[in-house]
Copies of this chain bind each other. A is one copy, B any other.
Amino acid sequence: MKINQLAIARLGWVILIGLSLVSCTPGTKKEATAVVEPVTEFDPLPSWNDGATKSAIIDYVKDVTNEAGQNFIDVPDRIATFDNDGTLWSEQPIYFQFFFAIDRIKAMAPSHPEWKKKQPYKAILENDMPALMKQGEKGIVEIVMTTHVGMTTDEFEKIVSDWITTAQHPTKKKLYTDLVFQPMLELIQYLQENDFKVFIVSGGGIEFMRPWAERVYNIPRDQVVGSSVKLKYDYNNGNPVLKRLPEIDLIDDKDGKPVGIQRYIGRKPVFAAGNSDGDLQMMRWSDANPLKNFQLYVHHTDSTREWAYDRKSHIGTFNEALDEANQKGWTLIDMAKDWKNVYPFEK
């Protein structure tokens, strides 16, 4: 079967580089800064500090939902798309989905005694990151395929559900779903309450996100767009299944994001949120919407509560898009300054 090695490799190198950084210093909790809140009837974004960023968001929503205004947007056109890794939850030291792949290899190892002597499995089982890095693209493809395909969609969903409810981040020592951004949860809810239909549009795996996105983000499964492998239907003697094949269907990153948006949504978004160069094409796509639109970039500036990185990061590179955001006046979230809380457990 055909494997889109180039596409997987694109993700693969990120893992390899990232793995060498797993042992980085954990973030420590920062004392909440006392902020004088203006008296308002209701604050839809309580975890956001007052300032230009919060005002820009609220002003936009009020403007486009004002029926009497010239920028009013009909409900069906109120499409909002959010990247996931680094935008709705953290992505350091490596994309959380790659921790899933590593944990899967370890969980599957008892049934594969031969892995003790076989790369790239040996490196993972021995927590030998330098050795894993030496396996290169071929090793990564093997890890991804071993852990993400070959089973039915129902089986994969159960595997992800079991993992996401038990696995802990190596340095934060929290469930991965605890490492979602409280301000973004509030923003999703705020948009939904204003009749925006909110979608995730992520480079991460669609079937990796769906089992928990509904519960954690209140975003229905059919509003999750992500990278995917091809599926094959099998009637299976009256017990039909869909098998996950080792063949890439969509890489929902960079140029793939507008493609994924059109495939799944069929409309340009009016509101798009991201955090990296991988989101730039989605931003441009929403910027091309003739309706009044809004582009929001998370800038990871908080080395204490989260991580601080941008242009030169091994993951979530924010370089070309940072220049374009500044040039076009897109809204930048300065995480350290704009967010009163980062994670829900800090509330």
Contact = CB atoms under 8 A, between A and B. Distances in A.
Interface stretch (A9-17, A108-116, A134-142, A256-264): A256-264
Nearest to A220: B76
Nearest to A223: B222
A240 B76 contact: no
Contacts of A249: 263
A221 interface: yes
A256 B206 CA distance: 18
Contact of A233 (B214, B255, B266): B255
Contact of A240 (B214, B220, B242, B281): B281
Interface string A179-214: 000000000000000000101000000110010001
Contacts of A281: 233, 235, 240
Interface string A234-250: 01001110100000010
A281 B233 CA distance: 9
| This chain: copies in complex | 2
A168 B233 CA distance: 38
Interface string A261-279: 0111111000000000000
A8 interface: no
Given A231-B262, A233-B255, A220 B242 contact: no
Contacts of A266: 206-207, 210, 221-222, 224
Nearest to A288: B240
Interface of A: 76, 153, 197, 199, 206-207, 210, 214, 220-224, 228, 231-233, 235, 238-240, 242, 249, 255-256, 258-259, 262-267, 281, 284-285, 288
12 contacts: A197-B220, A197-B222, A210-B266, A221-B265, A228-B263, A232-B259, A233-B255, A233-B258, A233-B281, A235-B284, A238-B284, A242-B259
